[in-house]
A and B are shown apart, each in its own frame.
Chain A
Amino acid sequence: MRYISNTPAQQRDMLATIGVGSIEDLLARIPAKARLSRPLNVPAAMAESDLIRHLRRLSAKNANADDFACFLGGGSYDHTIPSPINHLILRGEFFTAYTPYQPEASQGTLRSIFEYQTMMAELTGMDVANASLYDGASSVAEAVLMAHAVTERKAAVISKGVNPLYRQVVETYCEGPAIRLKSAPLADGVTDLEALQKAVGAQTAAVVVQYPNFFGCLEDVKTAGEIAHAAGALLIIVADPINLGLLTPPGALGADLVVGEGQGLGVPMSFGGPNLGVFAAKQELVRRMPGRLVGATVDLDGKRGFVLTLQTREQHIRREKATSNICTNVALCALMATIYVSVMGKEGLRKVGELSTAKAHYAAQAFAKIPGVELTFKAPFFKEFALTLSKSPERVVKRLIKDRILAGVPLKTLDRAYKDSLLVAVTEKRTREEIDAYAAALAAAVA
């Protein structure tokens, strides 16, 4: 057994020290009735070479973004992942450590999280960010729960411009505390502010909008915030931090909480997980935040050091009265994001935004010229946009796969209102050549 170190001779020695005859004797508390009387019915052990061959075959059945031009978005994006990330995160001292319960032996993890918190606060324009949550969707849900706890109100209004998959997760999380959810409809791809005004009331704990929204459109979130604040509700802005090297930070637009998915910051798509849940807040809300926080402090000799802090909010101390049930964060993904932001830096992150915008707009213009293809919305968009097609989006997607193009996400499965639409995302990695090839294939597919 390759991962078990004791030899049979050592096992015998150890049993003798313990004073029993066999391992079975150690299991005496388990009643016979409780015992499994047969081996587990899982496949037999495979040799390493067989296992690799088998998994390579399984892997090869999947249309991945190395071999296909990936125009898929909707919450997961094919952005550049600089080489240093993989090398650094695979260092065993990061990779095989756990929650920094002993800060003296965990300064590497703690420092990197402190850096991550600083970067996320800066990008979102907020005062504080936590050490990360599971993913963008659960971050939105935790933000709604937090708004409910802070305002002691039992309802929330969520724009239909918020990723429908996130909205489903919010619904799941709001089931227990019985928070009533209302949706604010869209008008031409952005939140209908008049309808939002009507939906908000004295029981509204939070208004949730996404920037840019699920369809890629840039919303007037500032006015949404004014509507929320006038009613005494918090404004929660869902944002992808990779876009905030270029876009106005939500903190400058009136956000009380900024949450979102940080996968684009150097975390592989990996079929949707693990991801990186970003959570940032205004200073006055810090003691109500879910999740871990790392703070700077000093040691016995007055030297700077870092610790997990404000832990009295958390479940291992407050148990059922904790701000959240979340126990771990996604420290390794937060580390990937920290390294990503370090590599990209001030200039690089802005450039990622500029390139993505330029290429997305070039693509949108090229596609919209094709008969049978039009842009679904007229609102300004960032790196993602919806196309309305004269042919079934599913069939177009299927056809373009033959040209090694992942054409986009047919919106039908996520939002029935847009059954003829295809959501297309263009990152800085897409080349003009790929976009032109897409346009040609699309023209053929809808003709």
Chain B
Amino acid sequence: MHTAKPGYDKLIFELSAPGRHAHSLPECDVPVSDPAQLLPAQHLRATSAELPEVSEVDVIRHYSRLSQMNYGVDTHFYPLGSCTMKYNPKINEDMARLPGFLRLHPLTPEAASQGALQLMHELALDLAEVSGMDHVSLQPAAGAQGELAGVLMIRAYHLSRGERRTKVLIPDSAHGTNPASTALAGFSVVELKSEANGDVDLLDLERHLGPDVAAFMITQPNTLGLFESKIHQITEMCHAQGVQVYMDGANFNAILGITRPGDLGFDVCHFNLHKTFTTPHGGGGPGSGPVGIKDHLAPFLPTPVVVKEGDEYALDWSRPQSIGKLQAFWGNFGMHVRAWTYIRTMGPDGLRAVSDNAVLNANYVLRRLEDHYDRSASGPCMHECVISARRQKKLGITAMDIAKRLLDLGFYAPSTYFPLIVEEALMIEPTETESKETLDEFCDALIQIAREAQENPQIILDAPVTTPVRRLDQTGAARQPRLKWTPPAKR
């Protein structure tokens, strides 16, 4: 699987040789070139920064080799649950690299950036339609920042009505960012117990709802991959008490064209463009986390808002009740171009087919695995499924061990130990872009591992053996953190 030079173990600093260089900078074409004549001495670095001195071929070869020490969607099935690792279309990249988009400065006069503003305006409209929301702000840089924006708008809304609500209710099955964003927005977090299938426990919700509750935040479909069927009841119960309902959009890939959060009664939802709308995950970002809201929250949208006035597009800053800004500029525009391109490539029927096939693939995987692993809930799932390695645990094999063995068998691993409410959880999200053949290979591998757990557990405990490094000492890394390279002489 790996084509990197066997045993390659270098850092760019270790390729350095004094005097080698890869850059090509212009000669100085103005009369005074010496900064010492232009700037007071105390502002100039006494000695040069210790940076690598390498040639261009060193750079290309080193990072090509590093890339070969990675699994990505382009090379591997990547069933990482809740992350929606679907194929990233190549045309998205070509379009994001058009010079008018890639090489555009954010403070270019509006009249000279009409194309970019138009694209943002149209993307916001499309996302509003897909979600059934009234307005969308594209500014948040990632899902977690979208959550923060949403919760801050909810806070501003209540305050504008003279209500100081202090609590936000969040189920125990939620993504960790939900409580973290909520706490950052100044609320105290109240954790609600979920039912065994991940559904909201309505009695528990009823007990906690009250005039001090600002919002209820849930993931739909939930983190067990199930559609919360009592959703209308939930939103009505919340609204009766003046509580705003927030939808974590991490699982949006399951519902395109099938149902819309706005129609389900949600007041706010965020989108993860890097999941549902095929912008690349990039090894951990950049993401993009637009947030959609209903009309009553519109005064609180982050500034500026892209508006259309006649045939012209503009940035509207005059929004006195706005929660303010979240990013220096207008959002991760490069991701907006990719998401726009994707939506236009797919059209309404294509988007619906995405969710249909994502659901089909997840149910197929679940059906093929359910005789060999415990399933976490009954009934069909949506676009992802959670299985438990409870049975294998009794044989001394954990979810983590299974994940490592999958790496040897040519697959990235599912999410492990999430959601927290399932013992030895393995959360699998195949996505619509995978074929039946790939899913069969993957299921065969997991079934083989279940058999190995009974017959030859050592092979699982020894895994991975095909990767550039084997199980890494995480405890040691945390106990004595080594967070940067130091030259051997200085060690």
Contacts and interface: CB of A to CB of B under 8 A. Distances in A.
Interface stretch (A26-34, A189-197, A225-233): A26-34
Interface stretch (B201-209, B237-245, B346-354, B391-399): B346-354
Size range of the interface on A? 35 or more
A205 B477 CA distance: 31
A80 interface: yes
Contacts of B176: 314-319, 322, 327
Contacts of A326: 142, 144-145
A315 B104 contact: no
A318 B179 CA distance: 9
A240 interface: no
Interface stretch (A151-159, A329-337, A438-446): A329-337
Contact of A307 (B73, B350, B477): B477
Interface string B1-41: 00000000101110000001111111011111111001110
Contacts of A248: 42-46
B454 interface: no
A18 B359 CA distance: 12
A172 B152 contact: yes
A176 B351 CA distance: 37
B108 A352 contact: no
A6 B368 contact: no
Contacts of A293: 481, 483
Nearest to A10: B436
Interface string A275-315: 10000000000100000111111111101111101111011
Contact of B472 (A61, A297, A406): A297
Contacts of B115: 57-62
A106 B71 contact: yes
B143 interface: yes
Contacts of B119: 58
B59 A339 contact: yes
Interface string A234-274: 00000000001111110000000000010000001111111
Contact of B104 (A20, A65, A86, A121): A65
B432 A122 contact: no
Contacts of A292: 284
B50 A122 contact: yes
A135 B324 contact: no
B75 A10 contact: no
A183 interface: no
A1 B88 contact: no
Interface centre among A43, A118, A165 (most CB of B within 10 A): A118
A128 interface: yes
Contacts of A172: 152, 302, 323-326
A161 interface: no
A406 B108 contact: yes
Contact of B284 (A66, A109, A394): A109
Given A10-B435, A65-B103, A358-B32, A42 B130 contact: yes
A62 B179 contact: no
Contact of B28 (A1, A40, A355): A355
Interface stretch (B255-263, B290-298, B444-452): B255-263
A146 interface: no
A417 interface: no
A200 interface: no
Interface string A80-100: 101010111111111111111
B257 A39 contact: yes
A342 B360 CA distance: 46
Contacts of A97: 70-73, 78, 281-283
A57 B100 CA distance: 9
Nearest to A311: B478
B51 interface: yes
A316 to B, nearest CB: 4
B404 interface: yes
B470 interface: yes
Interface in B216-267: 226-227, 229, 231-232, 256-260, 263-264
Interface residues of B, number: 206
A178 B186 contact: yes
B442 interface: no
Contacts of B332: 273-274
B161 interface: no
A59 B101 contact: yes
A186 interface: no
Interface string B120-152: 000000100110100000000111110110001
B345 A45 contact: yes
B483 A104 contact: no
Contacts of B147: 325
B379 interface: yes
B283 A173 contact: no
B299 to A, nearest CB: 15
A39 B58 CA distance: 52
B261 to A, nearest CB: 10
Given A4-B354, A272-B106, A380-B40, A177 B415 contact: no
A368 interface: no
A103 interface: yes
Contacts of A123: 49, 51
Contacts of B194: none
Contact of B142 (A39, A310, A327): A327
Contacts of B42: 248
B139 to A, nearest CB: 9
Nearest to B362: A26
Given A23-B356, A51-B91, A286 B112 contact: no
Contacts of B416: 101
B211 interface: no
Interface string A341-377: 1111111111111110111011000000000000000
B232 to A, nearest CB: 6
A233 to B, nearest CB: 21
Contacts of B283: 94-95, 97-100, 106, 108-109, 112, 331-332, 335
A176 B470 CA distance: 43
Given A75-B328, A398-B109, A350 B347 contact: no
A117 interface: yes
B184 A135 contact: no
A322 to B, nearest CB: 5
Nearest to B359: A26
Nearest to B354: A4
Interface in B435-491: 435-436, 438, 464, 467-474, 476-478, 481-485
Contact of A55 (B75, B98, B231, B278): B98
A346 B145 CA distance: 35
B66 A108 contact: yes
Given A318-B180, A357-B38, 15 more contacts: A28-B380, A44-B347, A61-B116, A64-B103, A101-B416, A107-B66, A118-B11, A169-B325, A175-B186, A269-B104, A304-B9, A315-B144, A320-B183, A320-B189, A344-B22
13 contacts: A58-B100, A63-B109, A84-B56, A88-B59, A93-B72, A95-B74, A137-B328, A249-B49, A309-B481, A310-B478, A315-B179, A317-B176, A357-B35
Top 6 A-B pairs ranked by shortest CB distance?
A: A272-B329, A92-B74, A45-B347, A272-B106, A59-B100, A332-B282
